[in-house]
Amino acid sequence: MGHLPTDQIGHFLEHYGVFAVFGLLMLGIVGPLIPDETILVFAGIAIHRGEMALVPTVAAAFAGSLSGITLSYLLGRTGVVYALKHVPLLDRHVGRHLPEAQEWFERFGKWTLFFGYFIAGVRHFTALVAGTSGLRPRTFALYAYPGGLLWVSSFLAIGYYLGEGWSRYEHLFSRGVIAAIAAVVITGIVWWRIHTK
C-alpha cells in the first residue's frame, strides 16, 4: 500500500478544511502511509490563497499532530504495539521502522521526540519507543508537544511562503534532506548541552 495521493489530499482539504487537516495529521503521525509534510504544505498554500484561516489551521494541525503522537505513545506504553505486530500489513511497517526509531532514541534520548517529527520513518515510531521505554507522560509531553508545534509551523510556513512555487522545490523535501537537516540541528543541541554543563 502506498502513500495517500496528493490529489486526494487537495480534495480533502478543499471539502473538509481544518477537519481534514486534523484527521489526516492524526492518522499520519500514527502510521507512515499519509504524507504529513505534504498535508501541511498544502494547508499553508491554502492559507496563502485565503482559502483557509491561519489560526484555525495552525490549531487543527497542532491538535492533530498532538493527538497522533499521544496515541502512538499510549500504544507503546500499554504494549498494544506488540499485539499489532501480528497484523501482516502493520508488521511490515513496524518491523522496518521501529528498530530505526529505537536506535535514534538510544542515541539522542528524549530529544528524539522533539526533532523526530522532521524525519519520516522515525517520526511515526519515536512515541511508540518512548512508551515502551516507560518514559513518564509529563516528560513525554515536555519534549514531544513543542516539537510538534515547531514541525507544524515550519511546514505550514513553507507552503505559505512558497505558495504556487512549492512544486519546484518539492524534491528537496525528501526523507534524506529532512533527515540531514534534523541531524545537524540535533548535533548542535547535543554539542551545546555538553559544552554548557
Rounded mean pLDDT for each run of 10 residues along the chain, 197 residues in total: 61 87 88 78 90 94 94 83 55 59 72 80 78 87 91 87 66 53 55 59
Q: How large is the C-alpha radius of gyration of the chain?
A: 17
Residue type, 121: G
Q: What is the pLDDT of residue 7?
A: 67
- Contact between residue 65 and residue 151 where contact means Cβ atoms under 8 Å apart: yes
Q: What is the pLDDT of residue 2?
A: 43
Residue 4 backbone zone (phi > 0: left; psi -120 to 50: alpha; other: beta): beta
Gap between the Cα atoms of 6 and 12, Å rounded: 10
Residue type, 91: D
- The DSSP symbol for 122 reads T
